[in-house]
Each structure stands twice: as C-alpha cells, then as structure tokens.
Chains A and B, each alone.
Chain A
Amino acid sequence: GIQVEQSPPDLILQEGANSTLRCNFSDSVNNLQWFHQNPWGQLINLFYIPSGTKQNGRLSATTVATERYSLLYISSSQTTDSGVYFCAVKETSGSRLTFGEGTQLTVNP
C-alpha cells in the first residue's frame, strides 16, 4: 500500500514563530488532507488539497502531486496551534485514507 511520511515528528516553537510541516507519499493520490487533532482527539480538517495551493488565515498548504509531497505552513503560531498534525492521502485506485505518523507541535508562550 501507499506509504506516507511526515516530518518532523516533533516540533517545539515559541509563540509567533513560523513553521513548515512536510508530507511525502509514495504513489499517485487523488485526495490529500491535512488535519489537526486537538487534545480531546477530534480531527479538524484543515485543508482538502490533492493539488495546488490554498490559504486559510494563518495556515496555508501546497501539494505538488507530480513530486509526491505536500507542505503545511503555519505562520505567527499561537499556543492554540499545539497538537498533532496529520497528513492523510487516498490512492488514485481505492477508497481508503492512509494517515502519516503525524507531527506533534508544541507552541510555548
């Protein structure tokens, strides 16, 4: 099956700093999503971005499908940004969503 690798596994920032999270995948996909899992476990969909670039406030994401990677940018980080960020993809053939191992982000005041 498809492999999804996220980096870095852990990231500690001071409030106000910017960061970039990366997601590499091993095969063609027609669905890629970035999620933020809050401390209560809920998965918040940040972006549905199988290709191209999207922005939502302080967050933006870019997926270069031909090179099989996606980037999530967080600018002016806040303590409420803390949590685990997951990248999940669906292969072009198939219906299952495969998750990466996640990036644990800690933003300190």
Chain B
Amino acid sequence: GAVVSQHPSWVICKSGTSVKIECRSLDFQATTMFWYRQFPKQSLMLMATSNEGSKATYEQGVEKDKFLINHASLTLSTLTVTSAHPEDSSFYICSARRQGRDYGYTFGSGTRLTVV
C-alpha cells in the first residue's frame, strides 16, 4: 500500500504561537508532498507543493512566511504555522503520491488546528 501518517491529529494553541505539523510517507519515498487546507463545509484547497531538498511552491494568496514548509527527507514534510491567529484555525491535510501505474494520491488523516 501507500500510507501517509500525519501528526498531530488536533492541536489547540494560543494566538501568536507557532505550530508544527508533520507528514510522513511510511512505506514509500515521496519527493513531492502536498499541503491542503479545508474550511468547514468547503472543499480542499491546495496551499503548497513541498519538494524534497528545495523550496516549496506556494499557491497564489498563501503567505510563505506564515506557512513554513520543510521537506528535508524523502519521507518527511513539515508545515509550521507561524504566529498563529484565530483565522488560521482550519483543517490541514497532507498528501503524497507513490510512483507506479495504479497508485493515486494518498492523504494523511489531517490536523485540526484551533487558535484561541
């Protein structure tokens, strides 16, 4: 299979603090991982593409200084929400794709962030 593990599942933090979310591919190597954000009752929106060993590519309108992405190894990407504010409260999901003919994209279980 292709398993992606994401931690933590949920986190509550105070306004102004930073939160790190980890995304790991457990049984395959992922040179590229993807970070999505989902607001209640809405679809998933791509925030950024994480590239192993190089800078992430951010979608238009996503602040790269607020959402720091690090993809230091072939199995780990991290998303750090810096100086979090209540409007950053959301559901964040990572994804990766195992190379091969019949593999699609696999998603982590998501992280529900609440900033108080």
Interface residues of A (CB under 8 A from B): 31, 33, 35, 40-43, 45, 48, 86, 88, 90, 95-102
Contacts and interface: CB of A to CB of B under 8 A. Distances in A.
10 contacts: A33-B104, A40-B109, A41-B112, A42-B109, A43-B110, A45-B106, A98-B46, A99-B43, A101-B43, A102-B43
Given A41-B110, A42-B109, A95 B43 contact: no
B107 A43 contact: yes
Contacts of A31: 104-105
- Specify which of A41, A48, A98 lies most central, judged by the most chain B CB atoms within 10 Å of its CB: A41
Contact of B49 (A41, A42, A96, A102): A96
B28 interface: no
Interface residues on B, range: 20 to 34
Contacts of B84: none
B95 interface: yes
Contacts of A99: 43-45
A9 B51 CA distance: 34
- Specify which of A48, A86, A101 lies most central, judged by the most chain B CB atoms within 10 Å of its CB: A48
Contacts of A88: 44, 105
B102 interface: yes
Given A48-B104, A96-B49, A41 B109 contact: yes
Contacts of A100: 43
A90 to B, nearest CB: 8
A31 B93 CA distance: 19
Contacts of B46: 96-98
Contacts of B43: 86, 99-102
A48 B93 contact: no
Interface string B79-108: 000000000000101010000001111110
B25 to A, nearest CB: 15
B34 interface: yes
Nearest to A102: B43
A1 B21 CA distance: 28
